[in-house]
Structure 1
């Protein structure tokens, strides 16, 4: 009997610990596209969501007031599917992209700034600077293309030998980070096109992110290796302590101060890591698409809001808020 009581006590203690670290209850949920969303993006402060769905086309949603602010309609006359979306560090501007064109949106006025076509490759990923004029594209042909829409200047970064899976541009548009199937990530200057740092990996680079002040970069490959780099010298700060083999990342964002990194996975997980040592301090599992078998959802974007909550947006068309103690 004594042994049984001790075993039960130990079991519940472990369950409580696991529950506190990994399975905390969500604080809030917004079901924006019950039918699912092929692309969804969050503003840096977690206030706005921009998403595309087949039934609703492109929609800007205010999570704070819980209402749609603008319904932009289809991206192009063909009604092409939006494959990626992003909101600039300055949340006035956003970008949505199909496989062969991209649109820039002025979210303050609820209108399109223009639609541009790409003819020499298929768009995989895209990012936009704070002024809404500088755009970075990652293409299947191995090119990372920087475009200044204000001046018409176009620069092709040709260091990658295979398709570019993920790109990030600094808020001021001066620097770019790109990662590709050639197992390389590069931090480069959009003025000159010169690579400043080269980050080799053991497998295909699937995800990259820049800290908004330019202090850190994050790169991750398809074998579950995630690294944080110091952009003052190009040296590795730490490697994420990943316990799951071949864990991939579908989204990543640094906290404003750079002390934490929030990531999302194709397998519904949302996680928070300390930048200094790569330790995981929070983990949650986002909601799956209703009636999906097996349950599934890709975490398209993550953010930290003013209430110290982690916000996640997924292919299930659902945004969730999680309370996170950052320490």
Structure 2
């Protein structure tokens, strides 16, 4: 009995160290789309939220003031379903996309800057620069496309051998990180198309993210392998420590200084990691989508709000604020 009791103690201590005894209830909640959202993006400081639902189309919300800012309307004349939303690092612009169309928005004026179509593939991921003029697309046809919307310059990155699942663009638009079904992620220069770093996995890459100052990159695959890289050296900094056989991420974002990483899953989990060690700091479960069986929600986005909290945005149409341990 004594060894068994010892294992029980070790188990509970391990749970405690991994942040599993944090409050299971959010510190604050914003019900933005009661019937759920097909896309939900947060600004870097978690102040602004942009959602899409069939009922209300695109809606811009101020979480700090807890008020609706604007109804942006539909993506296009066909009122296509928006499946992807990304807000620029400086909170000024946003890009929204269906499978074939994408639009860029000036959030300060709540106006569209234009609508564009992609004819040779399905859009699987998107990102936008701080000036709202440069966008990055990951497509099903193996291409990652960089576009300068002002000059019309188009660069097709063709290093991937299979569909591109996830993309990230540096705030200044100069560098791109793309990951695909070919088990590889590439950091490349958007001016020349030249590959700077290559990061390989043993399974298809599902999610990538860049730290805003260009210090770190995150790549994760369809198994349980998530890695944080030093972009200066190309070496691995840490590997996320997870005992789950499969841990697929639907969202990933570094804190401003890169010391922490917030990830979301398609099964309601929001997890905070220590970037340098790969240790789990906290784990939360977001509110499930209304009337779903089994009850769950896709975590579309997460952001650190500067108040010792992380904000989650999910398919339930709800944004939730979670207090972080020891802060």
Partner of 1:136: 136
Work out the number of aligned pairs and report it.
321
**Change in 2 beyond 3 A, CA 1:252/1:22:** farther
Partner of 2:83: 83
Partner of 2:20: 21
**Structure 2: how far apart are the matches of 1:62 and 1:33?**
14
SS of match in other structure, 2:127: strand
**Structure 2: how far apart are the matches of 1:139 and 1:36?**
26
- Deviations along 1:65-99, one digit per CA (max 9) or x if unpaired, are 11110101111010100010000001010000011
| 8 Å Cα contact 1:160-1:184 kept in structure 2 | yes
Partner of 1:70: 70
Partner of 1:97: 97
Cα shift at 1:182:
0.8
| 8 Å Cα contact 2:19-2:280 kept in structure 1 | no
Q: Say if 2:201 is the partner of 1:213.
A: no
**Structure 2: how far apart are the matches of 1:67 and 1:212?**
28
Q: Say if 2:323 is the partner of 1:323.
A: yes
| 8 Å Cα contact 1:22-1:284 kept in structure 2 | no
Q: CA RMSD in A?
A: 2.1
Unaligned segments of structure 1, at least 5 residues: none
**Structure 1: how far apart are the matches of 2:237 and 2:14?**
33
| 8 Å Cα contact 2:22-2:325 kept in structure 1 | no
Partner of 2:305: 305
Partner of 1:178: 178
SS of match in other structure, 1:178: strand
- Deviations along 1:223-248, one digit per CA (max 9) or x if unpaired, are 11000000001111111101211110
Partner of 1:48: 48
| Structure-2-length-normalised TM-score | 0.94
Q: Say if 2:252 is the partner of 1:252.
A: yes
Cα shift at 1:326:
6.3
| 8 Å Cα contact 2:273-2:282 kept in structure 1 | yes
Partner of 1:293: 293
**Structure 2: how far apart are the matches of 1:14 and 1:261?**
23
Unaligned segments of structure 2, at least 5 residues: none
**Structure 1: how far apart are the matches of 2:130 and 2:266?**
27
**Change in 2 beyond 3 A, CA 1:18/1:256:** closer
SS of match in other structure, 2:20: helix
**Structure 2: how far apart are the matches of 1:32 and 1:103?**
22
Partner of 1:147: 147
Partner of 1:166: 166
**Structure 2: how far apart are the matches of 1:169 and 1:104?**
15
Cα shift at 1:21:
2.8
